[in-house]
Every structure is written in structure tokens, then in C-alpha cells.
């Protein structure tokens, strides 16, 4: 795989994947990104121009997609509308990108017999009760609860259908919550970090009892590459790092690592339909493909993430006022 097409490669997880590939392999990468608010050219700053090429475009543009997929050895499909709150306000972009865009890519992969890896989320499984010892696994029934997670569930099912019906050489992965460098500051962890760095009090939805299973983005991307190289075609692999934490515990960890009192935050109204708990069983990935996370401790990864935002104020500072103004209008 010397030539990769990475969709959504100027977004958070995708840009970190491109950086991982450039640092760990000899592959050349073409990034296809629409550069919406969550995708930015500067997430690719500093990467070698002879290894990385950015194409600005829509994954639902069949002509463009066909040309790019035809020139690639493999497609790694990160591109997605992914903000739950935004999907509640306006579901259409999620249908267009996550469903129509995935269909368009699959058709091109089918026509060119191109290896395809589809990146998805654990949110397609719905949520678990807080006191339930179970975790999501590859055969957990889908039970999405928002327009975002429903559109991702639909895209997963399209991939499986194109594998079975048309022989597309695809794998899928569903991952737990990512954190790390280059994440948009509307998201929970970078929002709280940048609140503290800009002198604002952090904000916590409801009582903060909701549990997420956190993984550092570099660990996620190492797993994606492992699946791309050695995963069995047609299979789904769940990616997780045993990082279950309540939002309250994450908030306290951020405050503690940044030298603040652990109660120095404000509660705000909970999000409608806020899923209770996500938890990933990644034993299939570990047993079959030998992947393990490099960050064994959530706090180690969180400390590295805090330092990244502390050292890249010029990247997030211009966005901060607009993001917080939007949250303020929602009472959050």
C-alpha cells in the first residue's frame, strides 16, 4: 500500500492518521476533505509536500471520488459529520456525508477493486446502563440514538452489504471516544482544556455520570493501520483501550493535571438523549492482530494532550470566542 486515499484527512482523527502514516511508513497520501468547520488545512502543516497532497472536495462527488479512488492502493474512510448536538439541530448534512458519501466511495472501490477501510464509532450500538458490566463487541446489535449515530450505523451496513453483494475488499472498525492533538475545541476534552487556558470555568453536562471509553488518537490510528494491513476482509474490529471514565472523572483529571481545584467547574443542562455509557471489548483485535495501546494510562495520554494545547495556542485561540458564544446561546 504505497498510495493511500484518506477521506476526512484534514479533520481530527484523519489528520493524526496522516501524520502517523508519514512517520511510520513510506506511503504517499492523498487527503480528500471538504474543509468544513471541523477540517482545516493547518492540521497538515509541516508534512512533506512530496508525500501528502490535499484535494478539497466532497466525498459525495462521484466524478472526483472515482478519479481519486482509481489512483489509490487503498482508501481509509474517516470523513464524517460527527457532532451529536449539530445532528439534533440539522440532520441533513449527516445524511449527505455519512450515508451518501460512503455509498459514493463504495461504488468507486467496487469499480476499481480498491482495498477499503471504513472507520466508524461505538455510538452505533446505543448505550449501556451505568451498572451494566457488559461491553460492546463485534456482534452487539445496533441501537443508535441520534441522527449522527443513526447515519453512521447506516454507513456501516452499506459497507457490509457491498462486501457481501459486490465483493468489495473492505474492513470496518468501530472505535471508542478519541482524544489528542488537533481536536476541535467544541469537543469535551479540548473544550475544558482551552477553557482553563483562557481563564474560563469548565462546563459539565448534567451530573457528569455519563461514561465514555477513551483512547488516544495515536493508539486508534495504529490500530487502523494494523487492520488495513492484516485484518480479515469483511470483518469488523472494535478499537478500545480500556479507558472507561465518567465525564466527571475526566473533568477532575483535567483540573488536577492543570493545577486547578477539582471542583472548579460549572454544571450546565444535560444534552437531549445523552447516552449513558459506552464500553469497548477490543479482545478480537488484540488476539487476532496483536495490537495493544501504547498509552497504558489515560492520565498519561491526557497530560500529553494538555501540553499540546498549551503549546499550540495559535491554532485554537482564534476559534474560542465563536465556539463559546455558540454554547452560550444553548445555555451550555
| pLDDT above 80 for 139 | yes
What is the residue-wise DSSP string for 84-104? HHHHHH--HHHIIIIIIIHHH
Phi, psi of 114 (to 5 degrees): -95, 135
Q: What is the pLDDT of residue 224?
A: 98
DSSP 280: B
Question: Looking at 58, 81, 127, 148, which residue is catalytic?
Answer: 148
Contact assessment for residue 78 and residue 59, using Cβ atoms and an 8 Å cutoff:
no
Q: Is the pLDDT of residue 330 over 90?
A: no
In this prediction, what percent of the chain has a pLDDT beyond 90?
87
Going by the DSSP 8-state scheme, the letter that residue 236 receives in this structure is E
Backbone angles phi, psi at 127, to 5 degrees: -140, 170
Average pLDDT on 116-131 reads 94
CB 143 within 8 A of CB 126: yes
Model confidence at 332, pLDDT cuts 50, 70, 90, reads confident
Residue 326: pLDDT over 90 = no
Query: Strand 236-239's sheet: what is its strand order?
Result: 52-56, 28-33, 3-7, 74-77, 115-121, 170-175, 236-239
- Which helix (H) or strand (E) segment holds residue 177: the answer is strand 177-179
d(CA 244, CA 308) in angstroms, rounded, equals: 22
Span 257-285, pLDDT tens digits: 999 999 999 999 887 777 889 999 999 99
List all residues 6 or more positions away from 46 whose beta carbon is below 8 Å from its beta carbon: none
Average pLDDT, the chain: 95
pLDDT of residue 128: 92
Q: What is the mean pLDDT of residues 111-126?
A: 96
Which pLDDT band holds residue 295 (cuts at 50, 70, 90)?
Answer: very high
pLDDT of 86? 82
Would you call 85 a catalytic residue per the annotation? no
pLDDT tens-digit map of 2-61: 999 999 999 999 999 999 999 999 999 999 999 988 899 999 999 999 999 999 999 999
The active-site residue out of 122, 218, 219, 324 is: 122
d(CA 280, CA 237): 10
Query: In a 3-state reduction of DSSP, which class is residue 209?
Result: coil
Gap between the Cα atoms of 328 and 332, Å rounded = 5
Question: Which pLDDT score is estimated for 111?
Answer: 98
Q: Which one of 123, 156, 219, 324 is the catalytic residue?
A: 123
Q: For 166-215, how does the pLDDT look when each residue is reduced to its tens digit (9 = 90+)?
A: 999 999 999 999 999 999 999 999 999 999 999 999 999 999 999 999 99
3-178+216-239: CATH class: alpha beta
253 close to 52: Cβ distance less than 8 angstroms: no
Looking at residue 90, what DSSP letter applies? Answer: -
C-alpha span between 30 and 258 (Å, rounded)? 37
Active site includes 142? no
- Give the per-residue pLDDT at 3: 98
pTM: 0.94
CB 21 within 8 A of CB 31: no
314 assigned to active site: no
How much of the chain is in helix, strand and coil states, percent to nearest 5?
45, 20, 35
User: Stretch 104-125: mean pLDDT, rounded?
Assistant: 97
Question: In the predicted model, what is the mean pLDDT of residues 208-234?
Answer: 97
Three cell numbers, residue 169: 475488499
Q: Answer yes or no: is pLDDT of 88 > 90.
A: no
Amino acid at each position: 500500500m504505497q498510495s493511500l486515499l484518506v477521506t476526512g484527512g484534514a479533520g481530527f482523527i484523519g489528520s493524526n492518521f496522516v501524520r502517523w502514516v508519514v512517520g511510520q511508513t513510506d506511503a504517499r497520501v492523498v487527503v480528500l476533505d471538504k474543509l468544513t468547520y471541523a477540517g482545516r488545512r493547518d492540521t497538515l502543516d509541516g508534512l512533506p509536500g512530496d508525500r501528502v497532497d490535499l484535494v478539497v472536495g466532497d466525498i459525495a462527488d462521484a466524478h472526483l471520488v472515482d478519479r481519486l479512488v482509481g489512483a489509490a492502493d487503498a482508501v481509509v474512510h474517516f470523513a464524517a459529520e460527527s457532532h451529536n448536538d449539530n445532528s439534533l439541530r440539522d440532520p441533513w448534512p449527516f445524511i449527505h456525508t455519512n450515508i451518501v458519501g460512503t455509498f459514493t466511495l463504495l461504488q468507486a472501490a467496487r469499480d476499481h477493486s480498491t482495498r477499503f477501510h471504513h472507520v466508524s464509532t461505538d455510538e452505533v450500538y446505543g448505550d449501556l446502563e451505568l451498572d451494566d458490566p457488559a461491553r460492546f463487541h463485534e456482534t452487539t446489535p445496533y441501537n443508535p440514538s441520534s441522527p449522527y449515530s443513526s447515519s453512521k450505523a447506516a454507513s456501516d451496513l452499506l459497507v457490509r452489504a457491498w462486501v457481501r453483494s459486490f465483493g468489495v475488499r473492505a474492513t470496518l472498525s468501530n472505535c471508542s471516544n478519541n482524544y489528542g492533538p488537533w481536536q476541535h475545541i467544541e469537543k469535551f476534552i479540548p473544550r475544558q482544556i482551552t477553557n482553563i487556558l483562557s481563564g474560563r470555568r469548565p462546563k459539565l453536562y448534567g451530573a457528569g455520570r455519563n461514561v465514555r471509553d477513551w483512547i488516544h488518537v495515536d493508539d486508534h490510528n495504529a490500530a487502523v493501520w494494523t487492520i488495513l494491513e492484516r485484518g480479515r476482509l469483511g470483518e469488523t474490529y472494535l478499537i478500545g483501550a480500556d479507558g472507561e471514565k465518567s465525564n466527571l472523572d475526566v473533568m477532575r483529571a483535567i483540573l488536577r493535571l492543570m493545577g486547578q481545584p477539582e471542583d472548579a467547574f460549572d454544571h450546565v443542562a444535560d444534552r437531549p438523549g445523552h447516552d449513558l455509557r459506552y464500553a469497548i471489548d477490543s479482545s478480537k483485535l488484540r488476539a487476532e492482530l496483536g495490537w495493544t495501546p501504547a498509552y497504558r494510562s489515560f492520565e498519561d495520554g491526557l497530560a500529553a494532550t494538555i501540553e499540546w494545547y498549551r503549546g499550540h495556542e495559535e491554532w485554537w485561540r482564534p476559534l474560542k470566542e465563536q465556539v463559546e458564544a455558540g454554547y452560550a446561546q444553548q445555555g451550555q
